[in-house]
Structure 1
Amino acid sequence: MSIFKAAAIQMRSGTEPRRNAADMEAMVREAAAKGATYVQTPEMTGALVRDKDARATAFTTEEKDVVVATAARLASELGIYLHIGSTAILRTDGKLANRALLFGPDGKLLASYDKIHMFDVDLDNGESWRESAAYEAGASATIADLDIARLGFAVCYDLRFPQLFRAEALAGADVLTVPAAFTRQTGEAHWHILLRARAIENGAFVVAAAQGGKHEDGRETYGHSLIVDPWGRIIAEADHDEPGVVIAEIDTALSAQARKKIPNLKNAREFAVNHVARLKPALRRAAS
């Protein structure tokens, strides 16, 4: 069990990775100066780019990526765990991954996770997204054992798939992470509810750094970066969509306490689903 300060960095990433990396650095330094030893940035920290040709210019491999290099340097210099919530990474097969990366206090890459669930949706008012047209989905969950906590990874739309978080909690994760770029429309409706639900269901802290505001590529994101405790209480929030830093103290003993009070992870049972077909009632014969 351990106690540490966690920070969620809220950004408004534009289309230029170097400028976004500089904005990220300033806020990571602010978080570290306030005592945070685990710092999380939002989904697509490096850039938010809708245009296909512009994506090809903006994104590159891990070895050449400016956000990756900046994060490794900052983690080492500040002696923190720095979690890039995600950034677009060019894979060896030429496809893009929506990839989270965690760097340790020595600057080395400790873990990575490729977003599993692609945001392919058609919303109200003509808002439509096809993430699978640009990115290749991941195929496995990731757990990272740190000296401060056991971390479970997710990215944005993964939030709507509770089985991912349940699997990570069953594997011992006491801090679940949900860096995101929730749209304004879906964020206003579901963001707080879903994050609190994942915390309650799994008796775990949830740290969710978000993108916020009107971006250069035209999209609008909801902001409201949150840190939620294992009882579902919001213990830190950016109550707006402006860039900024929120910090909260995390005591992993509270996760163990919540799971002892309500041991639903242990009490879960396997079950079958019985499908009872609806039978058409027999027609009554008319009296003769």
Structure 2
Amino acid sequence: MNQSLTDASSSDTGHVAASRSKAAEEVPADDRIDVALIQMVSATELDLNLVRAEALIKEAAALGAELVSLPEYFCLLGRRDTDKVSLREPWGEGPIQQFLADVATRYKIWLAAGTIPLQCRDPRRVRNSQLMIDPQGKVRARYDKIHLFGFQKGSERFDESDTIEPGSSPVLCDIGHWRFGMSICYDLRFPELYRRLAPADALLVPSAFTYTTGQAHWEILLRARAIENQCYVLAAAQGGEHPNGRRTWGQSMVVDPWGEVIAQATQGEAVVFASLQRERIKQVRGMLPALGHRVL
């Protein structure tokens, strides 16, 4: 089930290996869902990035992950910000979207597809979109990044609004009995978005934080969002030195509803596995019912 405050499918809208623990095509149990975050160091070549993404997804599926999350810009970190515009696809078709559907079907997983560049009204820009794809390869939700990153410190400068058209609609997606709120990277700095998504069981935050901003704020922000909303936070990240010269922070992590980091990567490619427990959400919300104490 997909829920949006408008319409989720509109234009606004250390490696490890193990045997699979259960059939991923089954609806996740009410009390638990196994998840994996993919950390990448994406390059400037689409084909290479898709090969690496599938290899890491395969590892995650071998662990028994029912939901796998890719990072922001998993398919491309170009030499120029405008490179992604040349790769943008019409909604519902194109090689990147077909790849994602094929991979979700092949490994029988739910796939939270980091971000991909989709067409928008402005031919010079894209929608930076996260898709939720089910084990049959069907897109169940789409979220277009709302808040666009802008930063300048010395020679380090970013302005996503040059190449990205913002979305405007918060999006929720249900996987069995689990409700996931969708967000992307810079959205993390805007807690009001996550209040609109409450009461989610988990928040998805695929990201490509810079080394500078990540070192200062990444873990603090993720733990704050988990504590405020008393839910899990799943943050798959880019992490390392990229061929385009960019350096990203990495540290992909899963944070529990009490704000504790329960699984984490460092730098470089990685698969981060964790089991989300319904009882943990109930425990935290029961002993500190802050969501019920809200006044404003």
Same fold (TM over 0.5): yes
Residue 52 of structure 1 deviates from its aligned partner by: 5.1
Quick one: structure 1 residues 3 and 79, their matched pair in 2 at CA, closer, same or farther if it must change by over 3 Å? same
Matched, 1:83 2:112: yes
More helix by share: 1
Query: 2: CA distance between counterparts of 1:113 and 1:33?
Result: 28
Rg comparison, structure with higher value: 1
Q: Secondary structure at the match of 1:247?
A: strand
Q: Secondary structure at the match of 2:209?
A: coil
Query: 1: CA distance between counterparts of 2:60 and 2:132?
Result: 16
Whether contact under 8 Å (2:185, 2:207) holds in the other structure is yes
Q: What letter matches 2:204 in structure 1?
A: T
Partner of 2:3: none
Whether contact under 8 Å (1:3, 1:148) holds in the other structure is no
Whether contact under 8 Å (1:175, 1:207) holds in the other structure is yes
TM-score (normalizing by structure 2): 0.86
Residue 129 of structure 1 deviates from its aligned partner by: 0.8
Residue of 261, 264, 271 corresponding to 2:287: 261
Q: Secondary structure at the match of 1:21?
A: helix
1:114-125 equivalences under 5 Å are 114-123=144-153, 125=154
Partner of 1:274: none
Query: 2: CA distance between counterparts of 1:257 and 1:103?
Result: 30
Residue of 100, 109, 131 corresponding to 1:71: 100
Whether contact under 8 Å (2:185, 2:208) holds in the other structure is yes
Residue of 245, 249, 254 corresponding to 2:275: 249
Q: What letter matches 2:283 in structure 1?
A: Q
Partner of 2:134: 104
Deviations 1:127-147 (A, max 9, x none): 111100100001010000110
Residue 60 of structure 1 deviates from its aligned partner by: 2.8
Matched, 1:128 2:157: yes
What are the ranges of 5 or more consecutive residues in structure 2 without an aligned counterpart?
1-29
Residue 205 of structure 1 deviates from its aligned partner by: 0.4
1:116-195 equivalences under 5 Å are 116-123=146-153, 125-169=154-198, 172-195=199-222
Residue 126 of structure 1 deviates from its aligned partner by: 2.7
Quick one: structure 1 residues 267 and 42, their matched pair in 2 at CA, closer, same or farther if it must change by over 3 Å? same
Q: Secondary structure at the match of 2:206?
A: coil
Query: 2: CA distance between counterparts of 1:52 and 1:234?
Result: 32
Query: 2: CA distance between counterparts of 1:228 and 1:185?
Result: 21
Query: 1: CA distance between counterparts of 2:97 and 2:284?
Result: 35
Deviation larger for 250-259 or 14-23: 250-259
Residue 53 of structure 1 deviates from its aligned partner by: 5.1
Provide the identity percentage: 41
Quick one: structure 1 residues 10 and 148, their matched pair in 2 at CA, closer, same or farther if it must change by over 3 Å? farther
Residue 92 of structure 1 deviates from its aligned partner by: 5.5
Residue 216 of structure 1 deviates from its aligned partner by: 1.9
Number of residue pairs matched by the alignment: 266
Residue 90 of structure 1 deviates from its aligned partner by: 2.2
TM-score (normalizing by structure 1): 0.88
Deviations 1:185-209 (A, max 9, x none): 0111111111011101111000000
Q: What letter matches 1:216 in structure 2?
A: P
Name the Cα RMSD after superposition: 1.5
Deviation larger for 261-270 or 96-105: 261-270
Matched, 1:11 2:47: no
